[in-house]
Structure 1
Amino acid sequence: MSSGTDLESDWSSLSADVMVTGSLSLTNSTGPMACRPPYDEGRLPLVLLYSAVLMVGLPANLLTVYLTWLQVSRKNVLGVYLWSLSLCDLTYLCTLPLWTRYVSAGHSWPWSSAACKLTGYIFFNNMYISIFLLCCISCDRYVAVVYSVESRGLRRQRLATLIAVAIVLLVAVGHVPVFTMREGDAAEGDRRCFEPSQSGATVTGFNYARFAVGFLVPLLVLLGTNCGIMVNVRRSTGLRREQKVRVCWLAVAVVLLFLVCFAPYHVILLVRAVMFHFPQLEDGTCLFERTMYTPYTISLGLSTVNSAINPILYVLSSDNIRKELSRGLLRVPKGLRG
């Protein structure tokens, strides 16, 4: 996660620069049609992916927003991060019908430019708020497991609330320049909404920053904390075998989910950034952009899977929330439970 005010200011300035330059078309440097992305490729898989994520994620997050709020009201520290994550995911999922309509129409935005900017703003905010909150959850679990006695005075709900608010504000302010862009405006007869652009020096620098700060550092945090949790749990003599297996499974699943959802997108960003340093390969760069367009859009879609799996992976793995859910089900009339 962020390491200080210098990093925060760098993130904000890089965001401003990339948003100003990010709407440049792939057709700028090599002719009007030479680098036109294959908008129709991968359309069906992406529509199916968005639809599946919406059907699973919407009811799951609605339920977990309520369950985690109950934990927050009972002064549960981890509940603050889980509630923030569920609310963030729920907000993003509400934009999926717009993205699905956009993709199914051949990447032609049918609504206003303002709607495009707002949708993109919510998407990019969700991605990085989710990533940083996932780090907070893993760090909190690590402290609670490894330093269970010492952490009693450190793990406070007020501190967790301040951290969650700081993350949301940092990411939200960093992406405000989205609203200064010309995304969603008519260009060449079509309205495009946040399509990948031809990389310039500023965009390349921003891609490096997103890979390092938004992916690599969080990945190292998740690896370190979850490995520490597994080592400590295996040494514990106060846990039953099934409890140890469940905790270790959750630790492995957290890292795997992060890699599946966010690694493809950020690796493609890194490769595109590296390609910028080889301007002599102009034809190769054009071919690369055309070839990587479909994997890029699919990788962007994969990042949405995180919003559907988070409630299942985190919330239902919490003993307190599972008990809360069980008590709620017991209150449901037998006829409704089938």
Structure 2
Amino acid sequence: MQVDLHGLFENNKSYDYDPDYEYKEVVCRSSTVSGALGVFMPMLYSVGLLCGLLGNGLVLAVLLLKRLSAMDIFILLLSVTDSLLLLTLPLWAVDAVKGWIMTPGLCKLSGVLFEINFYCGIFTLSCLIVDCCLSSIRGEQLFSRKKPVVICCLIISVLCLLLSIPDWIFLDAIGGSTDQGKLECIHHYLPDSWRLASRFPRLLSFVLPVLVLLCCCSFVLLKMERNPKCQQKKDSQRTAIIGVLMLVFLICWTPYNITFMVNTFQPTDSMSLAAAEDCEGRQWTAIKITSVFGLLHCVVNPIIYLCLSKEFRRRVLTMIKFSACKRESSKVSLWDSSGVNGNGSVQEEQGSRQPMNDIKLTIQVQDHDT
């Protein structure tokens, strides 16, 4: 009995592969990096958590024990957002070791607070530097009263919440099979076309404020170079604090935003889309490393206040010694040079004017007698 297999194997072909061809498997390179940083990152986050809560707690305590000025309200907003971000550091410490073992809701919340901290920082510093620029060039302060400042802070808060909506939608805890089933808290775009659309506001909100900050700083520096005496001494400390805050912010957040921008415009190969999605979180090694600077930025601001503001340093030392501040000192500015030794400077000024007042009084008495 013969079986006709001609039709079954008619189109069967064998292929000769090129001996120089090398099969390249999609390797998640960040798994080795995560292993190397698995011990260091939790320690770094723990130290940042302790120092950040202590520093921002002192800032909040000092501000709430005094009568708030216009700049105090902006600093208060920065400290609140920094404190909220600090509370997510334990989650990122666990993620660095074991992956994202928490719920997807905590993943979304942590990412949203991360973005809100960035937006609040860039918008608040933009308002402060614009106010400082107008004060230096025209001698006018944009935020000289509390009411405009409160309205501006409310607008910033609402804008931050609106811009964080894409993170509520696209952030999720996604797992892969190549890294022992560990979950990753990453952005997951079901239609890949949403990647650019959802990230464009994030990129725009970084580029435009940075241009504003650089332009305002250039105007202030040129004005001070042409006329060194144009600024009053009481504004020099405030300008220095705002300038250092802006510089540290750019140093901490620029690497992450550049990496985020490169990742956004990086083309996705449709042939390896499934493998890329499975390994997307572990391919984000650069973003994860640069995001550490953004996370730890909330620790630096209290150190800047402590180093540059003598009045803030005096109040902190007073609180540490458990001695009460004088009520009249609550009106003293923490950010102007005139606020240093507020009552002492006032008394010194009154004392210097006392001899002149005595002379005027003596002349008036002699004129009255004649």
Report the TM-score, using the length of structure 2 for normalisation.
0.65
Indicate how the Cα distance of structure 1 residues 147 and 50 shifts in structure 2: closer, same or farther if over 3 A, else same: farther
Match of residue 24 from structure 1 = none
Alignment of 1:178-197 (within 5 A): 178-181=167-170, 183-184=172-173, 188=177, 189-194=181-186
Q: Is 2:30–2:284's contact at 8 Å kept on the other side of the alignment?
A: yes
Distance in 2 between residues matched to 1:280 and 1:177, nearest whole Å: 24
Give unpaired runs (5+ residues) of structure 2: 1-24, 325-370
Query: One-letter code of the match for 1:267?
Result: I
The alpha carbon displacement at 1:163 in A equals 1.0
Does 2:225 align with 1:230?
A: no
Offset from partner CA, 1:232-287 (integer Å, 9 cap, x none): 4453337799996x6776465334312321111111122223322x759979x96x
Match of 2:47 among 41, 48, 52: 52
Distance in 1 between residues matched to 2:316 and 2:171, nearest whole Å: 46
The alpha carbon displacement at 1:185 in A equals 6.1
Indicate how the Cα distance of structure 1 residues 156 and 239 shifts in structure 2: closer, same or farther if over 3 A, else same: closer
SS in 2 for 1:184: strand
Distance in 2 between residues matched to 1:47 and 1:140, nearest whole Å: 39
Does 2:156 align with 1:167?
A: yes
Query: One-letter code of the match for 2:144?
Result: R
Give the % identical residues.
Answer: 21
Distance in 1 between residues matched to 2:269 and 2:259, nearest whole Å: 18
Q: Is 1:128–1:171's contact at 8 Å kept on the other side of the alignment?
A: yes
Q: Is 2:129–2:216's contact at 8 Å kept on the other side of the alignment?
A: yes
Offset from partner CA, 1:147-183 (integer Å, 9 cap, x none): 44x338x521111111111111121133245445572
The alpha carbon displacement at 1:319 in A equals 5.2
Distance in 2 between residues matched to 1:199 and 1:322, nearest whole Å: 52
Match of residue 61 from structure 1 = 56
The alpha carbon displacement at 1:303 in A equals 0.7
Match of residue 305 from structure 1 = 296
The answer to which of 47-56 and 292-301 deviates more is 47-56
SS in 2 for 1:34: coil
Distance in 2 between residues matched to 1:177 and 1:135, nearest whole Å: 23
Match of residue 202 from structure 2 = 210
Q: Is 2:125–2:246's contact at 8 Å kept on the other side of the alignment?
A: no
The alpha carbon displacement at 1:39 in A equals 3.2
Distance in 2 between residues matched to 1:258 and 1:80, nearest whole Å: 19
* Structure whose alpha-carbon radius of gyration is higher: 2
Q: Is 1:37–1:289's contact at 8 Å kept on the other side of the alignment?
A: no
Q: Is 2:184–2:281's contact at 8 Å kept on the other side of the alignment?
A: no
Indicate how the Cα distance of structure 1 residues 159 and 191 shifts in structure 2: closer, same or farther if over 3 A, else same: same
Give unpaired runs (5+ residues) of structure 1: 1-32, 334-338
Match of residue 201 from structure 1 = 193
Does 2:80 align with 1:87?
A: yes
Indicate how the Cα distance of structure 1 residues 102 and 120 shifts in structure 2: closer, same or farther if over 3 A, else same: same
Match of residue 21 from structure 1 = none
Q: Is 1:116–1:184's contact at 8 Å kept on the other side of the alignment?
A: yes
Tell me which of the two structures has the higher relative contact order, counting C-alpha pairs closer than 8 angstroms and 6 or more residues apart.
1
Indicate how the Cα distance of structure 1 residues 69 and 316 shifts in structure 2: closer, same or farther if over 3 A, else same: farther
Report the TM-score, using the length of structure 1 for normalisation.
0.71
Query: One-letter code of the match for 1:201?
Result: S
Q: Is 2:171–2:187's contact at 8 Å kept on the other side of the alignment?
A: no
Offset from partner CA, 1:35-77 (integer Å, 9 cap, x none): 6452341433543442332232111011101222345xx2410
Equivalent pairs counted in the alignment come to: 290
Alignment of 1:13-52 (within 5 A): 34=26, 36=28, 38-42=30-34, 43-44=37-38, 45-52=40-47
Indicate how the Cα distance of structure 1 residues 64 and 219 shifts in structure 2: closer, same or farther if over 3 A, else same: same
Query: One-letter code of the match for 1:184?
Result: A
Distance in 2 between residues matched to 1:176 and 1:197, nearest whole Å: 14
Distance in 1 between residues matched to 2:247 and 2:171, nearest whole Å: 36
Does 2:119 align with 1:128?
A: yes
Match of residue 158 from structure 1 = 147
Distance in 2 between residues matched to 1:114 and 1:194, nearest whole Å: 12
Distance in 1 between residues matched to 2:176 and 2:284, nearest whole Å: 19
Q: Is 1:35–1:290's contact at 8 Å kept on the other side of the alignment?
A: no
Root-mean-square deviation (CA), in Å?
A: 3.7
Indicate how the Cα distance of structure 1 residues 280 and 103 shifts in structure 2: closer, same or farther if over 3 A, else same: closer
SS in 2 for 1:193: strand
The alpha carbon displacement at 1:219 in A equals 1.4
Match of residue 9 from structure 1 = none
Offset from partner CA, 1:61-95 (integer Å, 9 cap, x none): 11101222345xx2410000000000110011011
Does 2:312 align with 1:321?
A: yes
Offset from partner CA, 1:122-157 (integer Å, 9 cap, x none): 222222122212222322333344444x338x5211
Distance in 2 between residues matched to 1:204 and 1:46, nearest whole Å: 30
Distance in 1 between residues matched to 2:253 and 2:63, nearest whole Å: 25
